[in-house]
Each structure stands twice: as structure tokens, then as C-alpha cells.
Chain A
Amino acid sequence: MSHILTISNLTKKYGSLTAVDNLSFTIEKGNVYGILGPNGSGKSTTLGIVLNVVNKTEGHFHWFDGNTSTHDALKKVGAIIEHPNFYPYMTAVQNLQLVCKIKQVTEERISEKLELVGLLDRKDSKFSSFSLGMKQRLAIASALLNNPEILILDEPTNGLDPQGIHQIREIIKKIASQGTTILLASHLLDEVEKVCSHVVILRKGVSLYSGLVDGMNASHGFLTMQSNDMEALKQALEQNPAFGSFKRQGEYLIAYLKQPMDPSEVNEFLFQKGIVLSHFVKRKESLEEQFLELTKQK
């Protein structure tokens, strides 16, 4: 698989504050990546560095095979950072024409991309008359003009209303289904969970986890149970080697699995022991729980 972006030991310091600390990861073609982290964890700074607008303090990064200069490589990249930035006095089309000139691509695709984000009927309206959602969609259209190898989105749904968020997510999914590599920075977990296959988790500029979203979950889930005789239930479960720790939560007993086990097996096992359950749920930790678990470790 070919590399699109390689970052190694990247560090950025603002005075005494280290915004990005010795960060390394690789982005490969065809995957959808998420950079996840609370506000101020260095997501935007990292993207700023690879996008040529923030100067790095130490470390390296290179685009593609490393033979092109950053600004030439960026012509094959589509990126949106935080706010949609356009010239307010130009119309949507005029703004996109300018982007075409900068990226040195033909202006033929402007209508196609405006269609994709649903702005074709507003193409001759001034940018300043757009709502935030429309601005954000125009930014996506602009980032797609060069049919980029990778689309970078930094908090694309920030500040949007539910419809706007939904529209943006639909567009992202549509683009991802066409095989474009996507790098999505966000502090919204479900956003990353819904869209991404790989994830890098940052906290205070340090990478805590980097790999598959599914791989983040090392555990095999947990069971929430309730029975008439809670003590007997617990004793029965402790005899079974599949269970690790137990926790009482109100009227429920929570048992964590050490190895994969089907709920029906558990039910059968308990039934043989003469225990009847009145409540039984098997769940995996949500990304949110895993994320909170990860980010509080250090």
C-alpha cells in the first residue's frame, strides 16, 4: 500500500508549551483516518504543520514519496481547516475559480462539485450571504476541485445545526465510498466512530493510541445482569474462567469478559446452575468510554 503522509517525531513548541510532542504516524491510501483528542490536544497544530501554515520545531514529515515540495504536494490534497475561508465579496463560483488557479486544475469540475455539495443553485450568490452550513459545504467543494488523493477535514461539523451536521456527514460518507483517503480531526467521538477505520488519539500533543478503531477495544465486552439471588449469581460466575472482574452497579452486576463468549452460552451456563436472570445485556465499551479510559490514564 502506498503512503500518502508520513510523520516522524514531529514536535511543535509555542514558547514553553509543547503543542505536539514527538508525534509519529503514517497515512496509507484508501483508509479513513480520525485524529481524536480533546480541545487543545494538538490536532489542528499537527494539521497546520503538514499543511504548510505552521512551522515545525523539530521532526520530519513528507507527502507521498517525499520527492515533491510541500506546496506542490498540497495541490494534490484537499483540506479544510476550522473555518471556511473565502473572499466574502466573491460569489461561490468566483471563489472556486480562484482555487482552481492556485491548484492549477481546470475549471470544468466546478459545477460537478457544487452539485455534489448541493450548492449549484446558489453558485452566483456572494460568499458573505451564505449560512455557516453552506460555507462549510462550499469549503468541501473547494477541497475536492482537484480530485484530491486525500481529503483533510478539521472539525468539519463544528458549530453547525443538526441538519448541517447530517448533510456534512452524508457528503463525507459519499466521498469515502468513492475511495478517497480521508483524514478527519474531531473531538466528537461518534463522528469518528461512524466514519473512520483508523484512529490516532492525541492528548496534550502526545499520541496515546494509533491503529484500527476496532483494535482500540482490547476487551471482549461486558455483561450487565440481574437476578433474584445476586450472591448466587456472582458465585456462579466466579467459577467460570471466562470472566475477569466484577462490579456492582446499583441493582445490577457487571461482569467483564476475559475471552470471547456468546451471551447464549452464558445464559445456558447460568441456567444449569439454577439461576434465572431477570435482566441480561451484553455490550462492548463505546468509543467514548474507551476514549475516556485512554485519555485519563496518564
Chain B
Amino acid sequence: MLRLLNIELHKLRYNRAAKVISIIYFVLITFIALISSIEFNFGDFHFRVADQGIFNFPYIWHFNTYIAAILKLFLAIVIVSMVSNEYSYRTLKQNLIDGLSKKEFILSKFFTVLLFAAVSTIFIFFVSLILGLLFSDYKEIGIIFSGLQYIGAYFLKLVAFFSFCLFLGILVKRSAFALGFLIIWQIVEWLAYGLMKWQIFKDSEIADHVSRIFPLNAMANLIKEPFSRLGAIQSAATQLGENFSKTYEVGFLNMLIVLIWTGLFMYWSYAILKRRDL
């Protein structure tokens, strides 16, 4: 396993574009901390984001993983290009001739995906921990480490998303087209949901149940939007007579669906590569 990871990292190490994007990605994650410094003044009214409770434990785990997950698109570019480059440089062929098996090739990419996801997760864990310790109103150990399921969900979400990118890279062979395909796929999921919801299965919950198994939707459902959970917004809503009864938990079924998709993407990648003449 280390050998395969080593091979892939050797390819990435000297790739300037991949290095720059990865660095930007991690810097941007750190910039979540900057949200804390957003302040404004309306006359006498002084507003500071950090005081609104977004950095309170355990809410911070939810909020930070949600925001950081948006940035995964940066690494998606790296992942897609690290596959499509192998096609455009014809180095995939050369790798195989040099004695790498097709399985090892896919595994070396997948291990790299795992590594990227793991490093991101560790990174977001420490950024959140430090921010929380600075700004949280509650600092008891028990509270700090409650809500860590969001960190786990974040890891899972990244692995699944990057596996999808990897699969698209192998399927389409061109990075620009693969990223385009990703966007088109998201639109297809929305359209399919819309069609089911308002045309085919009107007035029923079938559309919601079916759309839960769509890959991108399933990944999105892992960490639900945290904004409506915020104290300030909830109290405002209550005043307007609106009641939120939403669950923000990381669903077990959701995790299972995402894991199955990850497995399928890797299996399909291998199957395509195995069948293809290079």
C-alpha cells in the first residue's frame, strides 16, 4: 500500500498545478477562521459574527465541516487531472508496461483519495478545535467532543466525492469534460428530483425517498445545512410563527448509501480500465 501511495505522490509532487491548488485549498480552509473577525456597526448596534454562536461546541463541528466541504471542488480538480493526465501523457500505458497492474493503478489513485480526505479531515478538526477553544461559550470536555460524527461524515463525504471524480476521470479521460460531466450530473439529479416531485409522483414522498439514493444528493445529505439550526435564526423563526422540526443528525442509512456508491465507483473504474485497450 505504501509503495502505491509513494508512486502516486511522486507523480503529484513535481506537478506545479496540483501543488498550487492543494495549497490554496488548505489555505482557504484556514480562512474559515476569518469569519470570526467579520464585524459590523449599525449606529449603536454592534454585530460580530463570532458572538452569534457559530463557534460554539458542538455546533462548530457541524458548521465548519459544512463550509469546508464546499471547498472540496478545488481538490476535485486535482483528482480529475491526476487521472486524465495519465491518459493525455499516455503514461498510463507506460505504467502498465513498466509492470504496474491495472488493479494497482486504481488502488494507487484510491489510496491518494483516502490520503487527501484524511489530511483534510485532520486539518478541519484542528482548525475547528482551535476556533472553538477561542470563541466557544462552552468549554467542557464532554461538550467539546460531542458532535464529532460530523467529522466522520466529512471524511466519508470527501472520499465518496473524490471517488466519483476519479471514476469520471477514467470514464471521460479529459479533465475539462470530466468536470463538466460532474456539473451536468448535478443538474440531472435536480431535474430527476423535480420531475418526480411535481410530475410523476405528485403529492407523495416517493420523490424524496428515491432522490436519497442519488450519489451527489446522498453525499450532500450527510452534512445538512447548519444555518437554520443557529440560535439567532431559530428564535427569529419562532417569532414569525415558523417552526423548525428538522433533524440535523448524520443518518446511518445515508452513510451506507454513500459507502455503497464509493465502492461502486471504484469497482466501475477498475472494470472500465480492465476492458479498455490502451
Contact = CB atoms under 8 A, between A and B. Distances in A.
A and B are partners in one complex rather than unrelated chains: yes
Contact of A101 (B6, B14, B277): B6
Interface stretch (B98-106, B156-164, B204-212): B98-106
Interface stretch (B56-64, B85-93, B260-268): B85-93
B16 A102 contact: no
Interface residues on B, range: 20 to 34
A81 B93 contact: yes
Contacts of B272: none
B44 to A, nearest CB: 58
Contact of A53 (B10, B15, B93): B93
A85 B89 contact: yes
Contact of B99 (A54, A81, A86, A102): A102
10 contacts: A51-B96, A51-B97, A74-B97, A81-B97, A86-B94, A87-B91, A90-B14, A94-B14, A98-B7, A101-B6
A89 to B, nearest CB: 6
Given A81-B97, A102-B98, A71 B104 contact: yes
Interface in B210-227: none
Nearest to B91: A85
B246 interface: no
8 nearest A-B pairs in the assembled complex, by CB-CB distance: A75-B99, A71-B101, A85-B94, A74-B99, A85-B90, A53-B278, A102-B98, A54-B277
A238 to B, nearest CB: 57
A103 B278 contact: no
Contact of A83 (B3, B90, B100): B90
Contacts of A74: 96-99
B1 to A, nearest CB: 14
B275 interface: yes
B95 interface: yes
Interface of B: 3, 6-7, 10-11, 14-16, 85, 89-91, 93-102, 104, 274-275, 277-278
Given A53-B278, A103-B98, A97 B91 contact: no
A40 to B, nearest CB: 15
A201 interface: no
A286 interface: no
Interface residues on A, range: 20 to 34
Given A79-B97, A87-B91, A53 B14 contact: no
A88 B277 contact: no
Contacts of B104: 71
Given A51-B97, A53-B96, A87 B89 contact: yes
B187 to A, nearest CB: 33
Nearest to A84: B94
B277 A48 contact: yes
Contacts of A86: 89, 91, 94
- Between A69, A72, A87, A94, the greatest number of chain B beta carbons within 10 A of the residue's beta carbon is seen for A87
A98 B11 CA distance: 8
A99 interface: yes
